[in-house]
């Protein structure tokens, strides 16, 4: 039996989850892995709360963790960005292997941190909580060339869109319920604007496409513009609207984008509801494999943290992250170069010939209509909605067409447009 | 760069898949893993077909593989049971690490084979094809105590049940189509009788519950008795019928059973259709995680084989399979001790008072009715169908109640009964 001593930085819900799992499953883990895992020190900048540390020492100095020669590995669960980044850097420099759940730090600084060779760094918990998606990409599918990685990777957005879909709730009401239930923060900006999903996509993209983590090049839209009318019209057309992170290798470069997306109801991913996360991976040999589960929560995230801890403790050299990453190998495409089908909802006056004018405008930009429905005015309104599914079109053409349609005198108010992915 | 030389036994579709993947992705694998993988010898008892072996030597003697000192690892893709078992034993005894896709051998002889300490044995490809479910259980969820493992683990059965559900096809017609499409063997017995699923469940169960592989104790039903009427009635009640392998730890022991099962449509598992496989794992920290993808096919299975090869090549000690398995620790329950809710379809004469008599018979065995629908006779028939969902009941009580209901003079023909799982 090999004893491995952990130091934990931070004492929030995930740290608590790690302590709880070890309290109940320490013996089971030892039987399975041959590792006797012990938390010997916990450090948090705030004074020790009333938490059972199971005999671990407590200190308010984070540096105590990597200064402690008895500690074999450090788990970073501070959260935030700057302090956590500095801490991870210092711990690696001190030769301590680091396990982190911090997606913001990895997305922004992962390339720098992984170039340290002093000690290994693992971050399974940074993407999709309990789901071992990083291991699936790096180990289970290691022999595959990846075509796309598409994920519902923000539980808050998925909860809100599911509530809008199933209960017809308005965005603001669904958000308020999510906040009441603890599924959204008091300040939900990071989640509903897509920043959190983009952090995770940056990590998935780097691993799947053997490229650097590249948060800055990801195109990001949140879910704040999605209305329950859009969800209902999409449903009539055979689609659900999900907030996706999508990375896809094309002949011209890499698509990397986060936005609300129509996906066919027949896709398994379309049935991933509430706060669940799921990542669909298409690769050349394995085909479409999908991984789903809880994307957040103390115990679920701690499960992923401990998987990394035990893996490192057993020394899994294969999991060592991007080697020989060639920054010039894949180019992330600017959003104007993306090709996508579109859902359009165009509010217009109820006059004859409007549909023909819209169709002509689209046609003049080479945009074909796949399906269309015209919706009568809602009670108390005098505008009709022309709802159109387009065929695949280049983003720049769509932007130009939208300017033209928007300028039609019958069009009143702004046009809703949401991308469609069939995930073939 | 470390060179690793493979010997492959067998030259069917999976072996072909391994050769194909290496032909296209050898350089990518080397970049990711630091391993230069080379197939140096292929052995098959039938003479060499017209296949590009990319420079590998060919022999018709399987023993040449483990006798070859240049070979670092042996991949067993012979199929069948006896010859493959002997081959794996001999290769391990010769000190060669073995990777196999052979579920029948692992389910029946895995305990013996894993007790050899001469060399490691890996079998990710034996369960659910491309899906890295064994790695998820053994590594991704290593810190978890498992509550249940439930899988759609036979693509043939899932294809047939999906066709019956979506097209209203009869069993025989759906089977014939599956055979035409190559989704079912000419002799489909192993698949449609549930043997193949039970092999896979035996493996999942052993790994998740740290117990021996125990194929003999698994209760097995196939899908041959499922009718399209049952599927339609289940649909009306809010369920899909899936062929599941289910292992669940209860206070009294381990449930281990393979049978058609009603699961609520709201469960993601209920949306896993066609030849797709999926495994739903419930564990204490990670909660419900699900893994889906192609469960068969040359390339998909080869993807899993190569994951094991590369993992072993990098020496993943953590993945070494059941240590300290205590055969007395968990007892597989006899089917009579299982508790389950039931779907019943009872064909009766169209007479007043029949439903009351059925309900009385159930009630006398302590069985409560959750929902019931009565179906008028189909065209050309004079029997009605009483369809009942029961509450959870012990298997032995249900068996006794069925004997009583079957003996009612109004009941004509045999009663269909299918278990219901809500997978909470």
Contacts of A240 (CB under 8 A, 6+ apart): A165, A231, A234, A262, A263, A265, A270
Structure confidence at residue A36 as a pLDDT band (50, 70, 90): very high
Q: Is residue B321 part of a domain?
A: no
Instruction: Give the mean model confidence (pLDDT) for residues B120-133.
Output: 96
Q: Look up the CATH number of the domain holding residue A149.
A: 3.30.360.10
CB within 8 Å: A139 and B293: no
For the record, the structure tokens of A364 come out as 């003049």
Is there a catalytic annotation at residue B200?
A: yes
- The predicted pLDDT at position A226 comes to 94
Q: Is residue B127 part of a domain?
A: no
Q: Is residue A314 part of a domain?
A: no
Is A145 in CB contact (< 8 Å) with chain B?
Answer: yes
pLDDT tens for each residue of B23-62: 999 999 999 999 999 999 999 998 877 888 988 999 999 9
CB within 8 Å: A31 and B210: yes
Q: Look up the CATH number of the domain holding residue A42.
A: 3.40.50.720
pLDDT tens for each residue of A152-173: 999 999 999 999 999 999 999 9
Q: Are residues B208 and B281 in the same domain?
A: yes
Q: Are residues A164 and A262 in the same domain?
A: yes
Q: Are residues A30 and A80 in the same domain?
A: yes
DSSP string, A11-32: -SHHHHHHHHHHHHHHHHHHHH
User: In chain B, what percentage of residues exceed pLDDT 70?
Assistant: 97
For the record, the structure tokens of B188 come out as 């489909």
**Dihedral angle over CA of A289, A290, A291, A293, nearest 10:** -160
User: In chain A, what percentage of residues exceed pLDDT 90?
Assistant: 79
Structure confidence at residue B381 as a pLDDT band (50, 70, 90): confident
* Chain mean position to CA B410: 39
Of B317 and B369, which is predicted with more confidence?
B369
Q: Is residue B157 part of a domain?
A: yes
Nearest CA to CA, how far is A287 from chain B (Å)? 7
A364-368, B328-332, B389-393: least confidently modelled range: B328-332
Q: Which domain holds residue A92?
A: 2-122
Helix axes A103-115, A82-93, angle to 10 degrees: 30
Residue of A nearest to B281 (CA): A293
Q: Look up the CATH number of the domain holding residue A352.
A: 3.30.70.260
Q: What is the mean pLDDT of chain A?
A: 92
Structure confidence at residue B116 as a pLDDT band (50, 70, 90): confident
Q: Are residues B282 and B215 in the same domain?
A: yes
pLDDT tens for each residue of A52-106: 898 899 999 999 999 999 999 999 999 899 999 999 999 999 999 999 999 999 9
Contacts of B379 (CB under 8 A, 6+ apart): none
Of A66, A92, A122, which one is at a domain's C-terminal end?
A: A122
Q: Are residues B142 and B265 in the same domain?
A: yes
Backbone angles phi, psi at A178, to 5 degrees: -60, -40
- The predicted pLDDT at position B382 comes to 81
- The predicted pLDDT at position A318 comes to 38
- The predicted pLDDT at position A84 comes to 97
Q: Which of residues 23-52 of A touch B (CB under 8 A)?
A: 24-25, 28-29, 31-34
Backbone angles phi, psi at B188, to 5 degrees: -85, 10
Q: Are residues B139 and B110 in the same domain?
A: no
Q: Are residues A58 and A181 in the same domain?
A: no
Of A309, A333, A357, which one is at a domain's C-terminal end?
A: A333
- The predicted pLDDT at position A319 comes to 40
The H or E element that residue A245 is part of is: strand A239-249
User: Of B134, B76, B137, whose CA–CA distance to B104 is shortest?
Assistant: B76
Q: How many beta-carbon pairs under 8 angstroms link A with B?
A: 213
Query: Is the predicted pLDDT of residue A324 greater than 60, yes or no?
Result: no
Collect contacts of B365-369 with beta carbons under 8 A, ≥24 apart. Answer: B365/B393, B365/B397, B365/B398, B365/B400, B365/B401, B365/B404, B366/B393, B366/B397, B367/B391, B367/B393, B367/B397, B367/B398, B367/B401
Residue of B nearest to A313 (CA): B318
Q: Are residues A358 and A217 in the same domain?
A: no
A210-219, A281-290, A372-381: least confidently modelled range: A372-381
Is B302 in CB contact (< 8 Å) with chain A?
Answer: yes
Query: Is the predicted pLDDT of residue A374 greater than 90, yes or no?
Result: no
Q: Is residue A393 part of a domain?
A: yes
Q: Is residue B312 part of a domain?
A: no
**Dihedral angle over CA of A194, A197, A199, A201, nearest 10:** -130
Structure confidence at residue B317 as a pLDDT band (50, 70, 90): very low
Query: Is the predicted pLDDT of residue B95 greater than 60, yes or no?
Result: yes
Q: Are residues B46 and B144 in the same domain?
A: no
pLDDT tens for each residue of B133-166: 999 999 999 999 999 999 999 999 999 999 999 9
ipTM of the complex: 0.91
pLDDT tens for each residue of A102-147: 999 999 999 999 987 789 999 999 999 999 999 999 999 999 999 9
Q: Is residue B375 part of a domain?
A: yes
- The predicted pLDDT at position B228 comes to 92
Backbone angles phi, psi at B378, to 5 degrees: -75, 160
Instruction: Give the mean model confidence (pLDDT) for residues A178-194.
Output: 96
CB within 8 Å: A293 and B287: yes
Of A122, A152, A171, which one is at a domain's C-terminal end?
A: A122
Structure confidence at residue A325 as a pLDDT band (50, 70, 90): low
Contact B227, B121 (CB under 8 A): no
Query: Is the predicted pLDDT of residue B322 greater than 50, yes or no?
Result: no
Q: Are residues B412 and B389 in the same domain?
A: yes
Q: Which of residues 196-235 of A touch B (CB under 8 A)?
A: 210
The SS3 call for residue B139 is helix
Q: Are residues B172 and B279 in the same domain?
A: yes
Q: Give the integer Cα–Cα distance in Å for A385 and B228.
A: 42
Contact A224, A135 (CB under 8 A): no
| Number of folded domains that form chain A | 3
Structure confidence at residue A317 as a pLDDT band (50, 70, 90): very low
Q: Are residues A13 and A109 in the same domain?
A: yes
């Amino acid at each position: 039996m090999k004893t491995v001593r952990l130091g934990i930085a931070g004492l929030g819900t995930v740290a608590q989850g790690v302590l709880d799992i070890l309290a109940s499953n320490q013996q089971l883990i030892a039987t399975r892995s041959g590792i006797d895992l012990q938390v010997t020190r916990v450090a948090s900048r705030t004074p020790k709360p009333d938490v059972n540390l199971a005999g671990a020492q407590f200190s308010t100095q984070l540096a105590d963790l990597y200064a402690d020669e008895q500690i074999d590995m450090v788990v970073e669960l501070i959260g935030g960005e700057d302090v956590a980044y500095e801490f991870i850097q210092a711990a690696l420099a001190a030769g301590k292997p680091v396990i982190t759940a911090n997606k913001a730090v990895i997305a922004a600084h992962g390339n720098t941190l992984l170039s340290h060779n002093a000690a290994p760094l693992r971050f399974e918990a940074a993407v999709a909580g309990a789901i071992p998606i990083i291991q699936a990409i790096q180990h289970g599918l290691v022999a595959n060339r990846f075509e796309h990685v598409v994920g519902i990777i923000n539980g808050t957005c998925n909860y809100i869109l599911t509530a809008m879909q199933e209960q017809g709730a308005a965005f603001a009401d669904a958000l308020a319920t999510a906040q009441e239930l603890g599924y959204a923060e008091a300040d939900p900006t990071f989640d509903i604007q897509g920043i959190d999903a983009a952090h995770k996509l940056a990590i998935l993209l780097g691993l799947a496409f053997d490229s650097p983590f590249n948060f800055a090049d990801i195109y990001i839209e949140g879910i704040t513009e999605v209305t329950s009318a859009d969800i209902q019209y999409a449903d009539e057309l055979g689609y659900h609207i999900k907030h996706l992170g999508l990375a896809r290798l094309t002949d011209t470069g890499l698509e990397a984008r986060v936005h609300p997306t129509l996906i066919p109801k027949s896709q398994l991913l379309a049935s991933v509801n509430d706060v669940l996360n799921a990542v669909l991976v298409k690769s050349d040999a394995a085909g479409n494999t999908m991984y789903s589960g809880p994307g957040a929560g103390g115990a679920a995230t701690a499960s992923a943290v401990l998987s990394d801890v035990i893996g490192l403790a057993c020394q899994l050299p294969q999991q060592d992250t991007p080697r020989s990453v060639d920054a010039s190998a894949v180019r992330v495409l600017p959003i104007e170069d993306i090709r996508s089908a579109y859902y359009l909802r165009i509010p217009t006056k109820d006059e004859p010939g409007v549909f023909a004018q819209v169709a002509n405008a689209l046609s003049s930009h080479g945009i074909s209509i796949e399906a269309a429905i015209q919706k009568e005015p809602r009670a108390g309104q005098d505008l009709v909605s022309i709802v159109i599914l387009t065929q695949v079109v280049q983003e720049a053409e769509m932007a130009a067409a939208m300017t033209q349609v928007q300028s039609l005198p019958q069009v009143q108010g702004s046009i809703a447009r949401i991308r469609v992915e069939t995930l073939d």
